[in-house]
Amino acid sequence: MSFLRRTSAVVTAGFVVGAVSGLALGVIWWRLAPRVPLVVRSGGAYPANYQPDGYLAADVSFGALALFAGLAVTIGLLVMRREHPLSVLVASLLAGGVGSVLMWFVGTRLGSVDIDGLVATTMDEGVIEAPLKISMPALLLVWPITAALMIFAVSFADWWGEAKKNARSSR
């Protein structure tokens, strides 16, 4: 029963830390990522210039924050329960999934603009900041993949150390 309690504590901690981290990182991403200027007029909305670097910078900043969060949260969960890497893996993947989705949700909602409403009500041409978005949806997987790779590396290092120790002791 103690094993189940400790495992559920790690999974619960992963969920809570992932949710809180995702909310906080969503705000940081919203403040950090650059916006593309968007021209709005009665006929529609379009970027002011061809600026793929603005969209790329938003994606890169999201990916960097997700990578950092994957490392930090997984290290914390490993410190909490290193002797049972499977529960840490489940907790880290749960934290990564929840955290990435919340980070995306908060970041995109904080800077959201009703483009269709602006187009329908504007008479003059105006320039606004385009809403924040992710151009590459696969970036939502950066945090969970980072966590999985880190658990793999730590588990492999533990296994390798035990194998070397057993090889020395059998001589």
Q: Contact, 86 vs 10, CB < 8 A?
A: no
pLDDT tens digits for range 87-141: 899 999 999 999 999 999 999 998 777 666 666 666 676 766 777 889 899 999 9
User: Tell me, what's the pLDDT at 82?
Assistant: 76
User: Tell me, what's the pLDDT at 84?
Assistant: 82
Q: Contact, 65 vs 106, CB < 8 A?
A: no
Higher pLDDT, 112 or 73: 73
Q: What average pLDDT does this structure show over 48-55?
A: 72
**How is the chain split into domains, by residue range?**
29-35+52-112+134-158
CA-wise closest residue to 139 among 95, 99, 89, 100: 100
Share of the chain above pLDDT 70, in %: 84
User: Tell me, what's the pLDDT at 115?
Assistant: 65
Q: Contact, 41 vs 118, CB < 8 A?
A: no
pLDDT tens digits for range 137-158: 999 999 999 999 999 999 999 8
User: Tell me, what's the pLDDT at 48?
Assistant: 67
Q: Contact, 95 vs 25, CB < 8 A?
A: no
